[in-house]
Amino acid sequence: MGGAYAAFYRIETEIKTIYLSNIHLDTPRIAFKYLLSNDLNYDWVESIENNRTIEAALVSSWAKSKKNTIIAGDFNMAADENVYREYFSSFTNVLNESGVGFNYTKYTPIHGVRIDHILVSDNFKILDSKVLESVGGDHLPVMTTLAIAPKIF
Protein backbone atom coordinates (compact mmCIF):
# COMPACT_ATOMS: atom_id res chain seq x y z
CA MET A 1 0.00 0.00 0.00
CA GLY A 2 1.50 3.28 -1.12
CA GLY A 3 -0.12 5.32 1.66
CA ALA A 4 -1.45 8.05 -0.64
CA TYR A 5 -4.89 6.59 -1.20
CA ALA A 6 -6.96 9.20 0.69
CA ALA A 7 -6.95 12.75 1.96
CA PHE A 8 -9.34 13.73 4.73
CA TYR A 9 -10.80 17.19 5.25
CA ARG A 10 -13.06 18.93 7.75
CA ILE A 11 -14.97 21.85 6.25
CA GLU A 12 -16.59 24.30 8.65
CA THR A 13 -19.72 26.05 7.33
CA GLU A 14 -22.11 28.42 9.06
CA ILE A 15 -24.61 25.59 9.33
CA LYS A 16 -22.68 22.35 9.86
CA THR A 17 -19.29 20.71 9.71
CA ILE A 18 -18.81 18.62 6.57
CA TYR A 19 -16.28 15.81 6.35
CA LEU A 20 -14.76 15.03 2.95
CA SER A 21 -12.49 12.23 1.85
CA ASN A 22 -10.87 12.53 -1.58
CA ILE A 23 -9.72 9.05 -2.55
CA HIS A 24 -7.69 7.21 -5.15
CA LEU A 25 -7.79 3.53 -4.28
CA ASP A 26 -5.36 0.96 -5.66
CA THR A 27 -6.11 -0.31 -9.17
CA PRO A 28 -6.40 -3.95 -10.30
CA ARG A 29 -5.64 -2.90 -13.89
CA ILE A 30 -2.02 -4.07 -13.83
CA ALA A 31 -3.15 -7.57 -12.78
CA PHE A 32 -5.40 -7.70 -15.86
CA LYS A 33 -2.45 -6.71 -18.05
CA TYR A 34 -0.35 -9.57 -16.67
CA LEU A 35 -3.28 -11.98 -16.93
CA LEU A 36 -3.59 -11.23 -20.65
CA SER A 37 0.14 -11.82 -21.13
CA ASN A 38 0.14 -15.16 -19.20
CA ASP A 39 2.70 -13.71 -16.79
CA LEU A 40 0.52 -13.64 -13.68
CA ASN A 41 1.98 -13.73 -10.19
CA TYR A 42 -0.92 -14.81 -7.95
CA ASP A 43 0.80 -13.62 -4.76
CA TRP A 44 1.14 -10.16 -6.26
CA VAL A 45 -2.53 -10.14 -7.38
CA GLU A 46 -3.61 -11.21 -3.88
CA SER A 47 -1.49 -8.41 -2.42
CA ILE A 48 -3.21 -5.82 -4.64
CA GLU A 49 -6.66 -7.10 -3.64
CA ASN A 50 -5.68 -7.05 0.04
CA ASN A 51 -4.49 -3.44 -0.33
CA ARG A 52 -7.76 -2.43 -1.99
CA THR A 53 -9.73 -4.05 0.82
CA ILE A 54 -7.67 -2.37 3.54
CA GLU A 55 -7.93 1.04 1.85
CA ALA A 56 -11.71 0.69 1.44
CA ALA A 57 -12.15 -0.47 5.04
CA LEU A 58 -10.18 2.46 6.45
CA VAL A 59 -12.04 5.09 4.38
CA SER A 60 -15.41 3.52 5.17
CA SER A 61 -14.65 3.31 8.89
CA TRP A 62 -13.60 6.97 8.97
CA ALA A 63 -16.71 8.07 7.05
CA LYS A 64 -19.10 6.06 9.22
CA SER A 65 -17.64 7.68 12.35
CA LYS A 66 -18.65 11.17 11.14
CA LYS A 67 -21.85 12.99 10.22
CA ASN A 68 -22.26 15.00 7.00
CA THR A 69 -19.78 12.84 5.11
CA ILE A 70 -18.76 12.91 1.44
CA ILE A 71 -16.41 10.35 -0.14
CA ALA A 72 -15.34 11.29 -3.66
CA GLY A 73 -12.76 10.21 -6.17
CA ASP A 74 -11.30 7.31 -8.10
CA PHE A 75 -12.48 4.15 -6.35
CA ASN A 76 -11.07 1.99 -9.16
CA MET A 77 -14.07 -0.28 -8.71
CA ALA A 78 -17.60 -0.51 -9.99
CA ALA A 79 -20.52 -0.45 -7.57
CA ASP A 80 -21.20 -4.15 -8.14
CA GLU A 81 -17.76 -5.28 -6.91
CA ASN A 82 -17.61 -7.13 -3.59
CA VAL A 83 -15.28 -4.62 -1.90
CA TYR A 84 -17.53 -1.72 -2.89
CA ARG A 85 -20.65 -3.53 -1.69
CA GLU A 86 -19.06 -4.47 1.62
CA TYR A 87 -17.61 -1.08 2.51
CA PHE A 88 -19.52 1.59 0.58
CA SER A 89 -23.07 0.36 -0.05
CA SER A 90 -24.35 2.04 3.13
CA PHE A 91 -23.65 5.44 1.54
CA THR A 92 -25.74 7.05 -1.20
CA ASN A 93 -24.11 7.08 -4.63
CA VAL A 94 -25.15 10.42 -6.15
CA LEU A 95 -25.17 9.12 -9.75
CA ASN A 96 -27.44 6.24 -8.78
CA GLU A 97 -29.90 8.73 -7.29
CA SER A 98 -29.93 11.58 -9.78
CA GLY A 99 -27.71 10.70 -12.74
CA VAL A 100 -29.10 9.78 -16.14
CA GLY A 101 -27.71 6.96 -18.30
CA PHE A 102 -24.75 4.66 -17.70
CA ASN A 103 -22.50 7.45 -16.39
CA TYR A 104 -19.25 5.79 -17.41
CA THR A 105 -16.21 7.63 -16.06
CA LYS A 106 -13.48 5.48 -17.61
CA TYR A 107 -13.31 4.11 -21.14
CA THR A 108 -11.06 1.32 -22.34
CA PRO A 109 -10.71 0.10 -25.93
CA ILE A 110 -13.38 -2.53 -25.24
CA HIS A 111 -15.83 -1.04 -22.73
CA GLY A 112 -16.87 1.78 -20.45
CA VAL A 113 -17.19 1.54 -16.67
CA ARG A 114 -18.05 3.82 -13.77
CA ILE A 115 -15.18 3.61 -11.28
CA ASP A 116 -15.31 7.21 -10.06
CA HIS A 117 -17.98 7.96 -7.49
CA ILE A 118 -19.32 10.55 -5.10
CA LEU A 119 -20.89 8.98 -2.03
CA VAL A 120 -22.74 10.88 0.68
CA SER A 121 -24.21 10.17 4.09
CA ASP A 122 -27.99 10.14 4.49
CA ASN A 123 -28.36 13.73 5.63
CA PHE A 124 -27.50 15.21 2.22
CA LYS A 125 -30.13 15.97 -0.38
CA ILE A 126 -28.90 15.38 -3.93
CA LEU A 127 -30.07 18.17 -6.23
CA ASP A 128 -28.20 17.20 -9.40
CA SER A 129 -25.42 14.85 -10.51
CA LYS A 130 -23.70 14.22 -13.81
CA VAL A 131 -20.56 13.02 -15.51
CA LEU A 132 -18.83 15.91 -17.25
CA GLU A 133 -16.91 16.05 -20.50
CA SER A 134 -13.19 15.26 -20.42
CA VAL A 135 -10.85 17.87 -19.00
CA GLY A 136 -7.82 16.03 -20.36
CA GLY A 137 -7.34 13.07 -18.03
CA ASP A 138 -8.13 9.41 -18.58
CA HIS A 139 -11.22 9.62 -16.34
CA LEU A 140 -14.30 11.79 -16.73
CA PRO A 141 -15.11 14.05 -13.77
CA VAL A 142 -18.28 13.63 -11.71
CA MET A 143 -20.12 16.69 -10.41
CA THR A 144 -22.96 16.92 -7.94
CA THR A 145 -24.96 19.67 -6.28
CA LEU A 146 -25.90 18.88 -2.69
CA ALA A 147 -27.95 20.47 0.05
CA ILE A 148 -27.50 19.67 3.72
CA ALA A 149 -30.72 18.39 5.23
CA PRO A 150 -31.85 20.47 8.20
CA LYS A 151 -31.51 19.03 11.66
CA ILE A 152 -34.69 17.35 12.78
CA PHE A 153 -35.71 18.02 16.39
- pLDDT, greater one: 97 or 151: 97
Query: Residue 24 belongs to what domain range?
Result: 6-148
**Is the residue at 53 inside a domain?**
yes
**Is the residue at 153 inside a domain?**
no
pTM of the model: 0.87
Model confidence at 119: pLDDT above 80: yes
**Is the residue at 31 inside a domain?**
yes
Distance (Å, whole) CA 101 – CA 53: 28
Distance (Å, whole) CA 9 – CA 95: 22
**Is the residue at 44 inside a domain?**
yes
**Is the residue at 134 inside a domain?**
yes
CATH of the domain at 87: 3.60.10.10
Return the minimum-mean-pLDDT range out of 18-22, 42-46, 140-144: 42-46
**Is the residue at 108 inside a domain?**
yes
pLDDT score recorded for residue 1: 41
- Mean pLDDT within 87-102: 90
Distance in angstroms between the alpha carbons of the first and the last residue of the chain: 43
User: How many domains, in total, are found in the chain?
Assistant: 1
Amino acid at 52: R
How much of the chain, in percent, has pLDDT values that exceed 90? 61
pLDDT score recorded for residue 101: 75
